[in-house]
Every structure is written in C-alpha cells, then in structure tokens.
Structure 1
Amino acid sequence: MKTTQPIYHLKRKAKALSRAEDIPLHQALDRIAKDEGYGRWSLLAAKASETTPAGELFAHLQPGDLLLLGARPGHGKTLMGLQLAVEAMKTGHPGIFFSLEYTRENVEDRFRAIGIDCTQFNHLFEFDGSDAISADYMTEKLASTRRGTLVVIDYLQLLDQKRENPELSAQVRTLKAFARQRGLMMVFIAQIDRSFERTEKSLPDITDIRLPNPLDLKLFDKTCFLNNGKMAFAAAL
C-alpha cells in the first residue's frame, strides 16, 4: 500500500498534530498511520523501510570513510543518520550518536518515527549528548570502539561554536585520521545555507554547506544531500 504523501511529510503532520492536541508524538504518529490504512505507525514505517535509501547508502560506506550528510531543516538528515546507524547495527556493528542538539528522548522519538524499537539494539546503540562534544572528546570516548562502528555527529557546524575548541578544520582532520586508524565510519550531519531555498536546484550540493568558518570539504570521502524526499550520493569530492 502506497502512502498518500512522502513519509517525511506524514512525520511533519504528526508533529503538528502532537502540538495542536497536546498528545505524545507516538500517539500522533499512530493516528496518522491509521489515516493511511495502517494499524499503527510501526507498520507504516516498516513498509516504507522496504524502499528506504538508507540501506543502499550504507552499502557504499567503508571503514575509514567520512560521509557529509546535508539537508535543510525538516528534510530528514537526522533520520537518515539514525537509519544508517540501524543499518550498521543490523550487521552486528555498534552505532553511536553524538549530538549537541538532541536529547536521548528526542532520539528515541526519532527511532519510533522510523518504526525501530531501540531496545532491540540496546547492546549496540549508544547516545552521547554531552556539552563537551568535540573531536578530542569523541576520540577519547571512541578509544576502545571496534572496527566497523558507525558514528553519527549531530552536527558539523556545532563543533565550531566553543572558542576553547580547535578550529573546525583541525577537528575534522583529527577525526579523519582517527577514523582511518580505527576503521570507523563517521557521518557528519551538516546544515545547508538558507540561500539554497532561493535557487532553482532540486537538491543542495557541496557549495550549499553553511560554513561560518573555513573548512576544506575535500576532507570528506563521500557526500549525501537530501531534499523533498530525493537523495543525491557522491563518492569522493
């Protein structure tokens, strides 16, 4: 059964319903799912996952890769990051989500939104929402992490906010060297500049990344951009 709208639109409707009626997000998601002909959201999400591009994208990642994942707000970049973590965990490898923006509860809500019971991955999934997140912090936390782990960093530009941290380019170089040495896959969620919305492009590209301070984007091995349910993947800049 095909949904009447793309799944990311249905998620937006559920969020609006949750706010408007002051009900938990999972209840709003279930109501939207019933309108689409599914008994609950997890069933709708499971059906949608059969055609999700996350599995295809994950298949392109190799240990040591740095992936730049960019989209405007509300176009699924965080969900894609979590879906990539799920793909890694399905293969028995850990998925670690570092966030300077989300809380653990936010992440659990997002897992429910994609039909995933995060308790099934309790032994593999780790969330870290420390205010101290930086390249040095993450390399210390990941010191004993095994090869094949997928690390999501939410998000790139926030690493650049604290003056006491090294400049962004230095942090990315540190993480790149660490990922190569330890065989980790690192996904950097990135903001897209607002100016993209004034263009006629259907998808953002590397020139649309918002960079308050200089960063050599050639440090990233692969890129993925999302917009309105579309995805563009590229290997090597």
Structure 2
Amino acid sequence: MTTTLEHGQEHAAVSVESEARALGACLMATPAYDPVADVARAVSEGDWHEPAHELVWAAVQRLHGAGRPTGAPAVEAQLRSTGDLERAGGVVGLSRLASEACSPAEAVHYAGLVHGYAQVRRYQAALVRGMQGARQADPLCVAETIAAHQAELEYLTADDQNDDTFGRFGDHLDTHLDSLAVSLPAAARTGFTDLDTLMKLMPGQMILVAARPAMGKSAFALGVATANARRGGPTLVHSLEMGCDEVSNRILAARARVAFHHLRDGAEGLTEEDWDRLDRHTPELKGLPLWMDYSARVSPARIRSRVKTVLRETGRAPLVVVDYLQLMQTDQRNTRQSTYDRVTEISRELKILASDTGAVILALAQLNRGPEQRPDKRPAVSDLRDSGALEQDADAIILLHREDYYEPESGRSGETDLIVAKHRNGPTGTVTVAHQFHYSRMRDMAEEPGQD
C-alpha cells in the first residue's frame, strides 16, 4: 500500500523535475523564443521547492528585467557576482538544468506545475497548522480558531495565478463601454439624502467614519445600518464596544422615537406612549434583513465568515458596519505585533475583504487629539489614529464634527457636520445633519421634527 510519505516524496520529485524543465527553458532562451515572461506570470515568490532553483530563478529575473540575455553563461556570471553560484549548484548544476530544458512552448505548462505543487505544499502546511490550532484552541473561542483556519484556506482558494487581471487595455474596453449604458444602483444607502447624493456606495468600497469620542459615531453607524436594512439591503453590524441590550435600545429609541434613557431605565422609565410607539415599530424591526454580531473578539476572518453567511441566505453582499476598527484583532494572533502593524494589517484585510466579496464596509475609527489643538476644532484626515494605512486604504473618509460640543452656546446647536474629506470616486464636501441624541439618532435637516 502506498503511504502518505511515499506520496509526498513522489510529489516532491515531480515538482523538482518540473522546476528543472521550466528553468532550463529560461537558460536556453533566445530573442525569438523567450519563455521567461510566461514563466514569471505562472509562478509566485516561494513556489520553488529546491533552494538552488530559487536562486537561479532570481538571477534569471534580474537579468531579464535589465533586458540582458538569460543564457547559462549570463546566469553563471550573475550568480558569481552575488556569491550564490555554489549554493545554486555551480556550473555543473546550471549545465544539468540546461540539459533538462523543455521546449519554449512547454515552459508555461511546467511553470504551472511548479506553482500547482507549491500550492499543494501550502495546503498541506495549512492543514497541519489547522490541526495544531485545534489542539491548542481555547474552548471558549473555537469559532475564532475555525474562522482563522477558514481564512487561510480561502486565501489559497483565491489564488490569482489564473485570473484575468493582466491583459491588453483594449481587450475589455467594449464590455466596459456597454456597462456604462446601464445605470448601476448603489450597493447600500446611508439614509441621509444629501450624503447619498454626494456619495454613491458601490460594491467593494471601504468607508471610514472617524471622529473624536462623543461626536455620535455609533448613532450615525446604527442609523445607516437601520436605514439600509429598511430599504431591503442586507446589513451586518459588528458591535465590538456595545452589547445586545445597548444596541437594541439605541435602535428602538431611534426608530420609535422613545427617549433612550427611558429604555435604559426599563419599566420605571417607560410611559404608556412609549410602549405604544414600541409596539407600532417592533414588527418592522423584527423583519429587517439586519444581522448583528456582538462579539468583542472580531478579526477580518470572522467578518468574512459572517459576510458569506449573509450572502448564502440573501444572495447579496451586505453593508458591513464595524464599530470600531481599532478594537479589532488580527488573524495572526501575534502578541508582539505593534498597534501600528495591527491596525495596518486590519485595514488592508478589510479592503481586500470588501473587494473579494463585493460588500460595502463602513468602519468606524477614532481620531487623535489633533482637532482639540485647533481654534475651530474641526477634524482632518491626518488626525486618524494608529496607522497611515487607514487613509491610504479607504475609498472615502467621513469625519464627524459637532460645533456645539465645544461651544454649548453655539448658534449651530443640534447640528452635526459630516465632512467627506476623502472620496476616491467623487467630490468631497460637507453635509450637515441634525442630531437627536436623546433618541440616539441623526436625521436629515429637511425632515420635520416629528417625522418617522
């Protein structure tokens, strides 16, 4: 019976043979038959099973990138200049590779095998790490362990070696022009008329909503989530800071216009009119396509898993609200990771997640004390805390500012500025809305005070 070890040895042997044939073709390249570019498109960094082959490939790439020949004599000179010739197998090793070369036409096939066997090894390593994670898993956090393993497997599944991200510009131009003749609906709505006019939320976008504490970030985010769900848009909220009871009270207060402190106090605070309002709006709220995750331990992998759950159930990518980004964990569980590195990784992973799934991610973020040092107290994008990647990765950044927080006697009492400070696909500007924090909500300035 063939053992697992024998299978592994067989795979390694075929992988090494494929590497030799692909590299040999590169060493035998001529101006008329140059397979180096094709091989480069098929393999990724770390694909080479033999360390010597990786050194030879690095030398080939350096020469090819400089427009120089990649024949065995040139590669030998390149390896000698970097001191890597002996580790790469020496002159004898290069000669052996050249003698095992496949034809230029076959180079892509063998390069594909090189990448494929590398993916097999990565898959095997991921399974080993999954078993190790299962043995070491905290019984109270099994879901997070599974989500992290799923994320690693999904990363392998999303291998981009055979995608269509490379090609001539004109190849897809007609298809793109045809798409412009069709009006694309927004993927999500904020519920604020002027903001939805200024910003059309499209699939794959990551939107940052940032402010100093007490500016109303959570009220804004929950209002957007409820408004989008009321329009039939699937919506997913990750509340890292507030539990089920507080979030429920905030949504009930905002929708039913019941004072938040009445709900907080329970039976002692609720009036008969409050109960009537709650009874009137509860059926609608119960039927909303609104999913909640109250876990305080949220990573990009967990969000990806929840997004896929909503996708399976509704067939549509959701609007994802994260309250708030700096409280998230990475999937690496690296205790030595600095705050800057952690937030940078989370920011990048959220953007990739949005692009991969088509979800719109609305992530809340904290600002540093920069606004408080300015005479007008207005925030700026440069005030984002912990990582410059937040500004770089976000498709749009909305900064919240309340003048009446700093000047209680201000003539703009009850107003919040939504400052669209970055907008990759459109104009920037400021939208002013009214805040009613006793109802834990914001609303359009044009709405009548009693309008639902």
Partner residue of 2:301 out of 136, 139, 143: 136
User: Structure 2 CA distance, aligned partners of 1:58 and 1:150?
Assistant: 14
- Deviation (angstroms), 1:216: 4.6
Structure 2 match to 1:27? none
Structure 2 match to 1:195? 370
Gaps of 5+ in 1: 1-51
User: Please, what TM-score do these two structures have when normalized by structure 2?
Assistant: 0.38
Structure 2 match to 1:69? 209
Equivalences for residues 162-181 of structure 1 within 5 A: 164=333, 167-181=342-356
Q: Of the two structures, which has the highest relative contact order with CA contacts closer than 8 Å and spacing of 6 or more?
A: 1
Amino acid at match of 1:210: R
Amino acid at match of 1:232: I
Count of residues in correspondence between the two structures = 185
- Deviation (angstroms), 1:209: 1.3
Q: Report % sequence identity.
A: 26
Is the counterpart of residue 121 in structure 1 residue 259 in structure 2? no
More helix by share: 2
Structure 2 match to 1:156? 325
Is the counterpart of residue 80 in structure 1 residue 220 in structure 2? yes
Structure 2 match to 1:230? 417
Structure 2 match to 1:207? 382
CA contact (8 A) 2:243 2:294 kept: yes
Is the counterpart of residue 95 in structure 1 residue 235 in structure 2? yes
Compared CA separation, residues 95 and 118, structure 1 to 2 (3 A): farther
Structure 2 match to 1:220? 394
Secondary structure at 1:152 match in 2: strand
Secondary structure at 1:142 match in 2: helix
CA RMSD of aligned residues (A): 2.6
User: Structure 1 CA distance, aligned partners of 2:359 and 2:282?
Assistant: 21
Is the counterpart of residue 112 in structure 1 residue 229 in structure 2? no
CA contact (8 A) 1:135 1:172 kept: no
Structure number with larger C-alpha Rg: 2
User: Please, what TM-score do these two structures have when normalized by structure 1?
Assistant: 0.69
CA contact (8 A) 2:307 2:317 kept: no
CA contact (8 A) 2:330 2:345 kept: no
Compared CA separation, residues 162 and 178, structure 1 to 2 (3 A): closer
User: Structure 2 CA distance, aligned partners of 1:175 and 1:115?
Assistant: 29
Compared CA separation, residues 55 and 107, structure 1 to 2 (3 A): farther
